A and B are shown apart, each in its own frame.
Chain A
Amino acid sequence: GQQVMQIPQYQHVQEGEDFTTYCNSSTTLSNIQWYKQRPGGHPVFLIQLVKSGEVKKQKRLTFQFGEAKKNSSLHITATQTTDVGTYFCAGPQGGSEKLVFGKGTKLTVNP
């Protein structure tokens, strides 16, 4: 079945350092979505990428969708302690409305 792989599983950084998480799908995706889950919280929608090669920015966060629409990345510039949490990517399963989630990357930021 369709798989969404995400690396790294964990990332520890010093405040101010950059952070990147990578997402790879076993199949071509119509779109890819990113969610953030704070410790003890629930996933919160961050962004959706639809176009091949698309790049979107949200303040210090930069999201990219690969040309083949099978991979994506999230890059955070100059991390802050408020960035801690687990970042999940997710892609639609086939032609359905269901999402297949990656295992997530847990980010911790040392002040």
Chain B
Amino acid sequence: GAVVSQHPSRVICKSGTSVKIECRSLDFQATTMFWYRQFPKQSLMLMATSNEGSKATYEQGVEKDKFLINHASLTLSTLTVTSAHPEDSSFYICSAGWRSSGALGTDTQYFGPGTRLTVL
């Protein structure tokens, strides 16, 4: 099956610093990657849709200047949490769009292992 990696798996940082999270599709190309946030015992909340070579599309209520997304290639998207604060502490998960035919696009999503961010 399709494999998506995410790095780092855990990060602890001081308030005010920026944190970059990488999401890679290892064995397939993905035109679309998605970034989610998950609070404890809750469902996945879509933050933004990242398309290769273009600007990300943010969901309502998500600050694009705070959560910077770059999709530089068909296998890599990055999320940078700028000037992180304790309320940004959460589990951030990326997913890559997959089409069973092998063509670019999204029928289903394969998720990375997630990054647990703790801001002190």
Interface residue? B79 (CB, 8 A) = no
Segment 63-88 of B: residues with Cβ below 8 Å from A: none
Rounded to whole angstroms, the CA-CA distance of A104 and B36 in the bound complex is 15
Q: Which residue of A lies closest to B59 (CB)?
A: A98
> Is residue A103 contacting chain B, with contact meaning CB distance below 8 A?
yes
Q: How distant is the Cα of A45 from the Cα of B105 in the complex, in angstroms? A: 16
A103 to B42, CA, bound (A): 7
- From A31, A42, A102, contact of B43 by CB (8 A): A102
| Count of residues in B whose CB is under 8 Å from the partner chain | 22
Binary flags per residue of B94-120, CB closer than 8 Å to A gives 1, else 0: 010100000001111111111000000
| Interface assignment of B93: CB less than 8 Å from any CB of chain A | yes
> Are A41 and B44 in contact, CB atoms less than 8 angstroms apart?
no
- Asked if A97 meets B110 with Cβ closer than 8 Å, knowing A43-B44, A88-B44, A104-B43, the reply is no
Q: Number of contacts between A and B (CB, 8 Å)?
A: 44
Q: A70-111 vs B: 1/0 string, CB under 8 Å?
A: 000000000000000000100000001111011110100000
Choice from B46, B112, B113, B114 contacting A99 with Cβ under 8 Å: B46
Q: Which residues 48-88 in A have Cβ within 8 Å of B in the complex?
A: 48, 88
B34, B42, B43, B110: the one within 8 Å of A45 (CB): B110
- Contact status B108-A48, CB under 8 Å: yes
Scan residues 11-40 of chain B and give those whose CB is less than 8 A from a CB of chain A: 32, 34
Closest chain B residue to A46 by CB distance? B108
* B34 in contact with A98 (CB, 8 Å): yes
Q: How far is the CA of A55 from the CA of B32 in the complex (A)?
A: 29
For residue B107, which residues in chain A have a CB less than 8 angstroms away from its CB? 31, 48
Say whether B49 contacts A88, CB under 8 Å: no
Given contacts A97-B32, A101-B44, contact A41 B109 (CB under 8 A): no
Interface residues of A, Cβ cutoff 8 Å to B: 31, 33, 35, 41-45, 48, 88, 96-99, 101-104, 106
- Those 3 A-B pairs whose CB atoms lie nearest each other, nearest first: A97-B106, A42-B114, A103-B43
- For the A-B complex with A88-B43, A88-B44 known, give 4 more contacts whose Cβ atoms are closer than 8 Å: A33-B108, A42-B111, A42-B114, A99-B46
